[in-house]
Amino acid sequence: MKAKNMFRMTALCMGLVLALTGCGSAAPSSVSASTAESTATSAAASQAVSSQAASAEAAQDLTGQNLMIYCGAGMQQPFEEIAAAFSEETGCEMNVTYANAAQLQTQITQSQEGAFFIAGSADEVKPVEEYVVSSTDLVKHIPVLAVAEGNPKGITGIADLAREDVTTVTGDAEATPIGKIAKKAFQDFGVTDQVTLAATTTTAPQLATVIALGEADAAIIWKENCNTEGVEICQTTDLDKYVKTVPAARLSFAADDPAADAFAEYLAGQEAAGIWAEYGYEQVQ
């Protein structure tokens, strides 16, 4: 009995040793397989990301491509930066024409070419809407009442433009969106017949220049054009209801142009938005 018991105990101990040995060797094998699988998965993901990045980079290489764009003269400063940044990033050549809305509309109609019309307001796109395939609002276009620095005439709002001692300059109502706004505001405030006009201009930036030179006391002008020395903004809410938006109208002549697709994405991105903001434009909510 004692011998049998000893044999059984010996056999049991051997079994336990074998079992423990088996368990001990299985665990590292399982961890090794899991690690290998994880490594392989990470490598595959990394390769996929690299491949996607390479594809995106290749899609942005537009060397040898060119875009023709029409842009309102009042937005020339920020748009020059936007066009230059896109060109540097992609290699695409940017050919931008800056002029008043009426001139740009005529060019679009007659030339039958171009990729985008960056207009001072959506209203300016209507005369060429047959050539527009889509339109995206970029930023707010805010009209303000500009006066000479220090506001020597004490102008507080549009009603003061009817005073005999105040002279005003306006944009051409037939050619510029800011001129159309001035005309409408004068009508709404009932001062059309009382305003003393010193001059009219064909582009918005010229309005600030006339005030800075002392040739007029006030003008309705785009907010971003008031950065001229000698000009300041009159703090009034009179023009709040005349705020417009700057649209990027995609023209049908470049409906299938990959370069135009890339620029549309760029205009909708944060880099372009930052440039607009530097010049005082506000994002469309």
Look up the CATH number of the domain holding residue 188. Answer: 3.40.190.10
Average pLDDT of span 2-15: 36
What percent helix, strand, coil does the chain show, rounded to 5? 55, 20, 25
The reply to whether 36 falls in a domain is no
Q: Does one domain contain both 165 and 234?
A: yes
The reply to whether 188 falls in a domain is yes
> How many domains, the chain?
2
- Whether the per-residue pLDDT at 244 is higher than 60: the answer is yes
The reply to whether 31 falls in a domain is no
- Where does the pLDDT of residue 227 fall: very low under 50, low under 70, confident under 90, or very high at 90 and above? confident
Q: Kindly report the number of other CB atoms within 10 A of residue 57's CB atom.
A: 9
The reply to whether 220 falls in a domain is yes
Is the pTM higher than 0.75? The answer reads no
The reply to whether 279 falls in a domain is yes
Q: Does one domain contain both 227 and 163?
A: yes
Q: Does one domain contain both 137 and 169?
A: no
The reply to whether 37 falls in a domain is no
For 111, the domain range is 66-141+244-283
The reply to whether 159 falls in a domain is yes
Average pLDDT of span 261-283: 95
Q: Does one domain contain both 127 and 148?
A: no
User: What's residue 285's pLDDT?
Assistant: 74
Q: Which residues are paired to 168 by β-bridges?
A: 197, 218
Q: How far apart are the first and last CA of the chain?
A: 94
The reply to whether 21 falls in a domain is no
- Whether the per-residue pLDDT at 155 is higher than 90: the answer is yes
